[in-house]
Amino acid sequence: MIFHSYEYILFLLTVLLVYWALPRREQNLLLLAASYLFYGWVHAWFLWLILCSTVTDYLCGLGMARYPQKKKALLLVSLAMNLGLLGLFKYFGFFVENVIAILEILGLPTFSNTLHILLPVGISFYTFQTLSYTIDIYRGTLKPRRNLLDFALFVAFFPQLVAGPIERAKRLLPQIEQNRTLSPAAARDATFLILWGFFKKLVIADNVARYANEAFLLEQPSFYLIWAGVFAFSIQIFADFSAYTDIARGSARLLGFQLMPNFNHPYMARSPADFWKRWHMSLSYWIRDYVYIPLGGSRGGAIRNSTALLVTFLLCGLWHGASWNYVIWGAYHGVLILSFRLVGGLLPDSLSKIRLLTPLRILFMFILTNIGWMIFREVDAFYLIRYLTTSPFGVSDFELHAGLFIFYKTFLFSLPIWIHALYARLRGPLFGNRSRPVVAINLLASMVMILGMLTLKHAQAFDFIYFQF
């Protein structure tokens, strides 16, 4: 089941009507059943994977408490089960293809890959989520849960099951275990969040997706066409992914839950490190706590720190997909962070405090981010090199005008995103803690968004991009 469908709206309204008439335990039972229905709506066999992860980590958690001397072995069981399933369904084909390629280079006999495995939607997200549970128990920062119902709901909670945010057990499990309430203000904010998510997906992301797809389908696009397409994709992927997060957070809030924010205006970042504090924050913090810090983090010398950072970003890229362009994309961002650290250490500290340079820093970082999105979007190495080396000179007037047209249309569709970022920055200084002006602005914005969805909604509804990860 997908968020931007009439089925989901009917599903959510039905769940809400029954949910708030029940006590907490029955609420959790209803949510678990609803979550399994939501996830198994198209492919019911996907549920077996969630069940395997749920039962394995539930038993491993209890085992660590009962047999502390076997904690490490039980953690390895959890890691093997979860990462084994993830590796089989997401990376097995990638591994086989690369083995075949190496054999061909070496002139050795090869074989044909006839096994095609369907990638379960959201497996990367809920695998990381449930792994946080067993790792935290192993570290002694979390106590195992004996209530299987509550733990199963933590793994399969439908608002954020498919594309996050990746919640930690320490944050989500206590909310599952306590009574929940819904105030009129929370319901109002949740409804606005869902509307904003629908608007970003149906009006912004799906409309600019057409321009990005057309640019990347061209065999020999000009400099202006391909980079206008990259700009369109940068808006598409942000609007698309953050839309899912907003609908997820809004849906959860209507159920009395608070999910963590996943985005904080990432295109306003001033540096690569700042970008990763704003983009896909739940993944950034997960990889920091469970990969980067265990590898050494900022401890040790510069070589160890740089190695840990690069390995972390290589794994971050690989998490996104079984393709070398994602690995290169991760390495690109790792090198950017190291480069900014090196250059920043050579420049005077006073330079970073000059406010007049802030717009230039944001623009420069946005350009670097778009180069990264070029790597992320193009899976064919031949075309990627061609796109990155395309010359801006010798372009026909038609290609120039076509590129400018795509850039202009994308900018128009993205205006609400930039306005929202500006409003978020000015809201505090303008209104402080006064709620009435904020409510009035949100009501007006809601009316505009509804009108926009009725008139500007793209005829073709695209799947959420992060479903494939």
- Catalytic positions are 320
* C-beta pairs of 263-269 under 8 Å, 24+ apart in sequence: 263/238, 265/421, 265/424, 266/238, 266/369, 267/234, 267/238, 267/362, 267/366, 267/369, 267/417, 267/421, 268/362, 268/421, 269/362, 269/365, 269/366, 269/369
**With 0-12 CB in 10 A as exposed, 13-18 as middle and 19+ as buried, what is 251?**
buried
Chain position carrying tokens 């650290």: 341
Please give, one letter per residue, the 3-state secondary structure of the chain. Answer: CCCCCHHHHHHHHHHHHHHCCCCHHHHHHHHHHHHHHHHCCCCCCHHHHHHHHHHHHHHHHHHHHHCHHHHHHHHHHHHHHHHHHHHHHHHHHHHHHHHHHHHHHHCCCCCCCCCCCCCCCCHHHHHHHHHHHHHHHHHCCCCCCCCHHHHHHHHHCHHHCCCCCCCCHHHHHHHHHCCCCCCHHHHHHHHHHHHHHHHHHHHHHHHHHHHHHHHHHCCCCCHHHHHHHHHHHHHHHHHHHHHHHHHHHHHHHHCCCCCCCCCCCHHHCCCHHHHHCCCCHHHHHHHHHHHHCCCCCCCCCHHHHHHHHHHHHHHHHHHHCCCHHHHHHHHHHHHHHHHHHHHHHHCCHHHHHCHHHHHHHHHHHHHHHHHHHHHHHCCCHHHHHHHHCCCCCCCCHHHHHHHHHHHHHHHHHHHHHHHHHHHHHHHHHHHCCCCHHHHHHHHHHHHHHHHHHHHHCCCCCCCCHHHHC
Q: How far is CA 243 from CA 183, 187, 199, 376, 461, in A?
A: 24, 18, 8, 19, 14
Angle (CA) 217-219-222 rounded to 5° is 95
> From the CB of residue 328, how many other CB atoms can be counted at a distance below 10 Å?
16
